[in-house]
Amino acid sequence: MEFNRISITKNEQRNNFPVRFLFCVKTFLSQIKKAQLLIINKVVSLKQAAQDSGIPYHTLRNFVNKPENMKNAAWIRIHRLANVYDQIIKSL
C-alpha cells in the first residue's frame, strides 16, 4: 500500500501508522496555534517576529490580515514562528 510515497506494511497499518500520523497532525496544529498567538495577539511586534524568525515582514503582515492563510503556509514558516513563541515563553 502506498500513502504519500511512503510504503506501509500491514502491521503499521493496523498498529503504528494511525498513531504516528495523528501525532504529526496534532504537532502541526499546535504549532499553528502558537504561530497565531504570536502574530495575531501581538506577543511581540511584527518587526521583531520577522527578525527572530527570518520570515519577511510582509508575509507576517499578510498572516495578520488573513489568519486563514496560515493553514496553507509552508511548514517551515509555521515551525519558525512556533519556535519564536517558545523562546519568548521560556524567557518570561
* pLDDT in 10s for each residue of the chain, 92 residues: 333 344 445 554 545 545 454 445 456 568 888 888 888 888 889 999 999 999 999 999 999 999 888 888 888 999 999 999 888 888 87
Rounded Cα–Cα distance for residues 43 and 86 (Å): 11
pTM above 0.85, yes or no: no
Please give the tally of structural domains in the chain. Answer: 1
Given this model, what pLDDT does residue 2 score? Answer: 36
DSSP assignment of 3-55 equals ETTEE--HHIIIIIHHHHHHHHHHHHHHHHHHHHHHHHTTSS-HHHHHHHH--
Identify the domain containing residue 31 by its residue range.
Answer: 2-91
